[in-house]
Chains A and B, each alone.
Chain A
């Protein structure tokens, strides 16, 4: 089974609506990273969460880390067409580890209908 599960796999929302994407790890999380990818292009770094309960926001995107549940959520408020893309979560599951231990979810494809 996948070590880092993202849900949903895809999402279609009407412009202006709020949405949430979840990322759940089967291993202890020591760092959680959110990226956005336009199809076939590189990943754009969004946010990094390290501590349980940590919450970060950037413009209309908020990410939270629930260390106990080994889960992170990404919430977009008042979605816009510019939010469309694939959202990937990446995680460091090895304490004191290096980039070699970063694993990624399969991604959530977000479409925003004008």
Chain B
């Protein structure tokens, strides 16, 4: 089975721009979660989608949004980029959204905001 794929792998944007990141989960997985990883804050939960519905959202401003499509692929969008949004954005998929869950992570998208 193919693993979780994320595109693009690297991205450089300018402050004030917006960006869309894409995540394709493992085939058959219906739950997708997004995380932001920075050296200072570590790995922080952004949001979780299951069957096209957002089930949970982390403590991030409204500039961060996401969605999930009927084929379970997910996108996250960050509008009005700030320097502090520079981070590795990781997507994880799992078969279900109930405990216990084995989350499988993609390679991440490295976003640099200048």
**A interface residues (Cβ-Cβ under 8 A, vs B):** 30-31, 33, 35, 40-45, 48, 50, 88, 90, 92, 96-107
Contacts and interface: CB of A to CB of B under 8 A. Distances in A.
B12 interface: no
B42 A106 contact: yes
A25 to B, nearest CB: 15
A99 B31 contact: yes
B57 A30 contact: no
A62 to B, nearest CB: 18
Q: Is the interface of B mostly helix, strand, loop or mixed?
A: strand
A38 B98 CA distance: 28
B112 to A, nearest CB: 12
Size bracket, chain B contacts? 20 to 34
A110 to B, nearest CB: 16
A102 B105 CA distance: 14
A33 B103 contact: yes
A2 B94 CA distance: 26
Contacts of B43: 88, 90, 104
Given A42-B107, A107-B42, A98 B58 contact: no
B45 A40 contact: no
A39 to B, nearest CB: 10
Contacts of A104: 42-44
Contacts of B105: 35, 42-45
Contact of B104 (A45, A88, A98): A45
B56 interface: yes
A100 B101 CA distance: 12
A41 B91 CA distance: 11
Nearest 9 interchain pairs by C-beta: A100-B56, A42-B105, A104-B43, A43-B105, A42-B107, A106-B42, A99-B48, A99-B33, A42-B106
